[in-house]
Amino acid sequence: MTIRLATFIAAAALAQPAPQYDLLLKGGHVIDAKNRLSAVRDVAVKDGKIAAVSSNIPAASALKTVNVAGLYVTPGLIDIHVHCYAGTGERGSYAGDLSVYPDGHSFRNGVTTVADAGGAGWRNFEDFLDRVINRSRTRVLAFLNIVGNGMRGGRYEQNLDDMEAKATADMALKHKGIIVGIKSAHYNGPETAPFTRAVEAGTAARIPVMIDYGSNRPERPISDLLTKILRPGDIYTHCYSGLRGEQQGATGGPAQALIDGRKRGVIFDVGHGGGSFSWRVAVPLVKAGFLPDSISTDLHVSSMNAGMKDMLNVMDKFLAMGLPLDDVIARSTWNPSREIQREDLGHLSPGAPADVAVLKLEKGSFGFVDMHGARLDGSTKLIAEITVRDGKIVWDLNGLARERWDKLPAGYTHQGDAIWDAYGRARRPAAARQSGRK
Ligand SMILES: [Zn+2]
């Protein structure tokens, strides 16, 4: 080929218009609660945002098209109760060794956003921000602990002197949008001060509180919390533990306090964890129609190796109790995004961040285990095939977006395009490659 011809061809290639979209997920069943959509649709992504959701978007209009027929396409899942303030080296602490780094657990479950539930308080939040939040590819948000030192163990968490509403609210306002709520947890004294101060901070910062009601005390029954202390929009987590009188008797439906709280607009969150989800509570409550507003894991180092496995496992449990898939997805996407006032997330409207989960609903025989080690059998199980974060594929279980190796040119090298693929972004910078640094 002459140089002139090569130049001409290169110029012609340059002159071709860029494809309209970066990434197209084609033929999947889209479930988007905000947009009241549950139907087969194509989802197109451009510049990290959802660009279009409609039937039959031509494959040629995208730089990369992935066939996701037979799979479900949902907003990236939002898990508002995790513990991910890892890396401080503090033993036996949720601001340390008991927490997990989010990226190792999120994308493989279709999760694109997590909220840490009180690992840090106002004294150590900015360490958490620098250590984990700003370094994670997962979108990490936080409930700020009303305890200034955060969730560092009993010595700190039982200290009423370190629960300051003003300092907590000030830090929350300083990082508005990342700090999405105030947390109180694990308090075992008879006082209501941890909860009233959390509400005080939440009111000042105009964000909700999330309550783990700690030890059950006759001086402060949950009816006080749910009908007097909490505001509409505040969140009661661990709602199927049964440990604080959530159930009527030992086998009944929801306690009157839960019914009254819900009537007032209190939000109920799962927060499964290692000790907060019991079949003998959840099954009768769900049967009585007391469903969770949001499904969340309470992921930490020990819960994830017990009955609670991961976000999809907790969602599977609600499928196993008979909730329709659309309903389970809504309670894992659009509901939690509204609870934490991040309505930019949890849906697939054009212009929204392109956080997407492509899920497979596997059929078979599966077992699901609760906090006591009791099993409930189910016939379906969700699997995350592809996860997209800000328009880029960050998880691809079976290589659906990949070419077969034997169809590629001999001696092929790095595949994918950084425009739609996180593989491209994960490569080392050129300078590092040349100098041979690892
Ligand atoms: Zn927790």
**CA-based Rg of the chain, rounded to a whole angstrom?**
23
Distance 186 CA to ligand 1 centre (A): 9
Distance 83 CA to ligand 1 centre (A): 6
DSSP code of residue 162: G
Is the CB of residue 257 less than 8 Å from the CB of residue 238? no
CA 218, distance to chain mean position in Å, is 34
pTM of structure: 0.94
Distance 190 CA to ligand 1 centre (A): 21
Distance 301 CA to ligand 1 centre (A): 11
The pLDDT value given to residue 418 = 92
Report in angstroms the alpha-carbon separations of 32 from 27, 221, 295, 331: 15, 38, 16, 11
Distance 353 CA to ligand 1 centre (A): 27
Distance 117 CA to ligand 1 centre (A): 6
Tell the burial category of 417 from Cβ atoms under 10 Å away from its Cβ (0-12, 13-18, 19+). Answer: middle
Q: Write out the chain's pLDDT in tens, 438 residues.
A: 445 555 555 555 555 678 999 999 999 999 999 999 999 999 999 999 999 999 999 999 999 999 999 999 999 999 999 999 999 999 999 999 999 999 999 999 999 999 999 999 999 999 999 999 999 999 999 999 999 999 999 999 999 999 999 999 999 999 999 999 999 999 999 999 999 999 999 999 999 999 999 999 999 999 999 999 999 999 999 999 999 999 999 899 999 999 999 999 999 999 999 999 999 999 999 999 999 999 999 999 999 999 999 999 999 999 999 999 999 999 999 999 999 999 999 999 999 999 999 999 999 999 999 999 999 999 999 999 999 999 999 999 999 999 999 999 999 998 999 999 997 555 444 444 444 333
- How many residues appear in the chain? 438
Query: For the domain 76-381, what is the CATH code?
Result: 3.20.20.140
Distance 379 CA to ligand 1 centre (A): 28
The pLDDT value given to residue 431 = 45
Is the CB of residue 28 less than 8 Å from the CB of residue 40? yes
The pLDDT value given to residue 13 = 53
H or E segment to which residue 184 belongs: strand 179-184
Distance 295 CA to ligand 1 centre (A): 13
Task: Give the CA diameter of the chain.
Answer: 90
Locate the domains of the chain by residue range: 76-381
The pLDDT value given to residue 7 = 52
Distance 8 CA to ligand 1 centre (A): 62
Q: How far apart are the first and last CA of the chain?
A: 40
Is the CB of residue 215 less than 8 Å from the CB of residue 182? no
Distance 271 CA to ligand 1 centre (A): 7
CA 194, distance to chain mean position in Å, is 26
Distance 345 CA to ligand 1 centre (A): 22
